Amino acid sequence: MFRTIFAALTVLLLASAVCAQQRNSSASNPARNAHADEDAPLFNDFRGVRIGMSATEARTKLGKPQSSADDQDFFIINEHETVQVAYDTTQKVTAVSIDFMDGSSDAPTARAVLGQEVPPKADGSAYQMIRYPHAGFWVSYSRTAGSTPIVTVTMQKIN
């Protein structure tokens, strides 16, 4: 139960950071954002779940959610991996956020998610978000500081 609450809080905090970073990223590096517009994202699905697919299809791919509501599902894949899937009012996937915890060996690298390294901050944490307007969504990679970092990979529809 604690892990579920912790993961949900982590996702909410990261969503706030993503909104702030999204504004900063576009302003601070317009050349990268213009280039990203032409590229297809490397990370475009998780276990077959994609932006725009139906909630029914997502649940078929990920199994029975640990908790469910009209606008989101929370899945526990294993002891090191959780997934939150958000839906719009038509029950289409608008966001997928995956947390790799407790030193998960399955956590992807920034290069595998974004196609580039992400320079760590002084504390060892790292964050980068890239918008893909032609694909209609953005992808972010976040790693917390510490000896057992949490890696969060998120993709979200651009409204």
Look at 148 and 39; give whichever has higher pLDDT: 148
Q: Is the pLDDT of residue 32 over 70?
A: no
The yes-or-no verdict on residue 150 having pLDDT over 70 is yes
Residue pair 7/101 in contact (Cβ under 8 Å)? The answer is yes
The least confident of 34-43, 101-110, 149-158 is 34-43
* Number of C-beta neighbours around residue 120 at 10 A: 13
Whether the CB-CB separation of 67 and 85 falls below 8 Å is answered with: no
Domain total for the chain? 1
User: Which amino acid is present at 157?
Assistant: K
pLDDT at residue 15 greater than cutoff 70:
no
Q: Is the pTM of this model over 0.75?
A: yes
pLDDT at 38: 52
Tokens, residue 9: 């809080």
- Average pLDDT score over residue span 4-29: 42
pLDDT at 159: 86
Task: pLDDT band for 36, please (50, 70, 90 cuts).
Answer: very low
- pLDDT, one tens digit per residue, over 65-119 is 999 999 999 999 999 999 999 999 999 999 999 999 987 888 999 999 999 999 9
Which residues constitute the domain of residue 29? 2-157
Whether the pLDDT of residue 17 is over 50: the answer is no
Contact at 8 Å (CB) between 156 and 138? yes
Q: Measured in whole angstroms, how far is the alpha carbon of residue 106 from the centre of its chain?
A: 15
**In this structure, what are the phi and psi dihedrals at residue 47, rounded to the nearest 5 degrees?**
55, 35
The pLDDT, as a whole number, for residue 105 is: 85
